[in-house]
Amino acid sequence: MGLHKTAYRGLMGWFDSRMPSAMNAFRAHMSEYYAPKNFNFWYFFGSMALVALVIQLLSGMFLAMHYKPDSNLAFWSVEFIMREVSGGWFIRYMHSTGASFFFIVVYLHMFRGLLYGSYRTPREVVWLVGCAIFMALMAESFFGYLLPWGQMSYWGAQVIINLFDTIPLIGPDLSTWIRGDFVIGDATLNRFFALHACVIPLVLLGLAVVHIFALHDVGSNNPDGIEIKDRLGPDGRPLDGIPFHPYYSVHDIYGLGFFFLAYFGIIFFAPELGGVFLEGNNFIPADPLQTPQHIAPLWYFTPYYSILRATTEGFLIWIAACALGLGALVYLSVRDMRLRIGVGAATAIVLALLTVPKVQLDAKLWGVILSGASAMILFALPWLDRSPVKSMRYRPAWHKVVLGAFAVAFLVLGYLGMLPPNPTRTAVAQVGTAIYFGFFALMPWWSRMGEFKPVPERVRFVPHAGGAR
């Protein structure tokens, strides 16, 4: 009769004989997906990111049922949601807090990758898709932030879109095209709403699916950085693997408990978090004629904003020195003559664009380039890391110090980005920028240096006290 053979009985059997792909998918991705048994705290954040996405989608779609994307009505529609829609304040706070939590979770998720070499072969595609998700997430939050049409929304968007002005030749026209007008206005708001509510959510969903499929194709990494598929048992399953469902599905629900504790704690007791999650200035309707005293992007953009501001006229000469140094290092590291010529030419061009009077690009444009590069350099990570071992656990102790310095630099840059600039802060930000880029640019060399510890055959796993019954 064309029915598939099924091992299930009853209603499940009826369904499985007609759509086996449903249970096939459940087995392939959950009950028979063997994940390493030594996952630790850092491994909660993947599924948590998926939960954050679902929260944003649900809260967002309900907000969209009351929000009006018209420059005259937008601000008031948000106030309407907060004050007059039953439960509206709760939905709004879920969405604003959810956005910040999404970034906290994603940053921790990416840091896990740095700790354990999750981006190394064969997981480069997983990493690249993840970087694409990060880019899409930044776009999504940028578009979303204009929607409340407050002072910070308006002027923040103004500043960022004006960055496109700096692109030589096409800059101003490009900015006008993005805005749909000569200034940010109704046209901009309407299209940002369509992008935020419809286009990018679809992109995020699609990329999340691809991200998980790519991971499941090669299997998860683990804190020891060894491939569990290298040691299979007599049944063909990894000796150090356990089925994702029920072990990690339940484990992740446990982790979600802590997430929800913090998340709802903030929603009910401190949804603005002192202006960090919801800016004070955004409770004032947008006024094109008056800029607030102090503009800053939301906290999750502040590291990149810091790098942008740190790139001053005076800093260019230091960048030039570093570019020269890096060029020399690469030149000496490659043997092939054609590559050497290429490296030499590239370095010369970059130096010219930094220092030679007529050709030199503005510090403003260099700031845009550097802050853009600081986000984009993540894509290159699988090829920058030349360490013979994946995980920090088996690397020389000083590698951990280097990673720690990078993390501290990122946090300090983020903190500085929230404050108005002054000469001292700019100097610190410049040092932070140097550490940030040094971490990546010099990685092909430092990741190979030092005494590496022997990597174990089997994962390091200590069961809970009490052991097996």
Partner 1 sequence: MSSSASSSLPEPPQVDLERRAAIVATSVVGGAGCLAAAVPYVASWGPSEREKAAGSAVDVDISSLAPGKMMVVEWRGKPVWILRRTPAMIESLRVDTNQLADPDSKRTAFPTPDYVLKDPALRSIKPEYLVVVGICTHLGCSPSGPFASGENAQLGAEPGFICPCHGSTFDLSGRVFKNKPAADNLPVPPYRYLSENTIRIGEAPRA
**Stretch of residues binding partner 1 (CB under 8 A), selected from 57-65, 343-351, 389-397, 440-448:** 57-65
Q: Which of 8, 26, 76, 445 binds partner 1 (CB under 8 A)?
A: 8
CB of 60 to partner 1, least distance (A): 12
Residues 430/318, Cβ–Cβ less than 8 Å:
yes
**Stretch of residues binding partner 1 (CB under 8 A), selected from 85-93, 201-209, 297-305, 337-345:** 85-93
CB contact set of 285 (below 8 Å; sequence gap of 6+): 75, 149, 150, 151
Applying CB under 8 A, does 32 fall inside the site for partner 1? no
Q: Which of 11, 87, 182, 235 binds partner 1 (CB under 8 A)?
A: 87
Torsion sign (Cα): 283, 287, 293, 294: positive
Q: Which of 33, 43, 62, 164 binds partner 1 (CB under 8 A)?
A: 62
Residues 417/297, Cβ–Cβ less than 8 Å:
yes
Give the 3-state secondary structure of residue 46: helix
Applying CB under 8 A, does 6 fall inside the site for partner 1? yes
Range list of H helices, 243-301: 249-269
# binding residues, partner 1 (CB under 8 A): 24
- For the record, the structure tokens of 190 come out as 């309407």
Q: What is the dihedral of CA 450, 456, 459, 463, to 10 degrees?
A: -100
Cα distance from N-terminal residue to C-terminal residue, the chain: 48
What would the x/- binding string for partner 1 be over residues 248 to 267, using CB under 8 A?
-----x------x-------
Long-range CB pairs of 325-330 (<8 Å, 24+ gap) are 326/441, 326/442, 329/442, 329/445
Give the residue with the Cβ less far from partner 1, 89 or 452.
89
Applying CB under 8 A, does 60 fall inside the site for partner 1? no
What would the x/- binding string for partner 1 be over residues 216 to 255, using CB under 8 A?
-------------------------------------x--
Give the residue with the Cβ less far from partner 1, 278 or 307.
278
Q: Which of 49, 52, 91, 378 binds partner 1 (CB under 8 A)?
A: 91
**241 forms bridges with which residues in the sheet?**
36
Q: Which of 36, 46, 88, 98 binds partner 1 (CB under 8 A)?
A: 88
Applying CB under 8 A, does 84 fall inside the site for partner 1? yes
Applying CB under 8 A, does 17 fall inside the site for partner 1? yes
Range list of H helices, 9-150: 10-16, 20-26, 45-64, 74-83, 88-116, 124-146
Applying CB under 8 A, does 85 fall inside the site for partner 1? yes
**Stretch of residues binding partner 1 (CB under 8 A), selected from 87-95, 347-355, 361-369, 450-458:** 87-95
Give the residue with the Cβ less far from partner 1, 94 or 459.
94
Q: Is the peptide bond before 172 cis (omega within 30 degrees of 0)?
A: no
Applying CB under 8 A, does 7 fall inside the site for partner 1? yes
- For the record, the structure tokens of 303 come out as 């590291």
CB of 413 to partner 1, least distance (A): 36
Closest alpha carbon to 433 in 410, 457, 460: 410
Distance between CA atoms of residues 126 and 132, nearest Å: 10
CB of 236 to partner 1, least distance (A): 19
| CB atoms inside a 10 Å sphere around CB 83 | 9
Applying CB under 8 A, does 9 fall inside the site for partner 1? yes
Q: What is the binding site for partner 1 (CB under 8 A)? A: 1, 3, 5-9, 13, 17, 58, 62, 65-66, 80, 83-88, 90-91, 253, 260
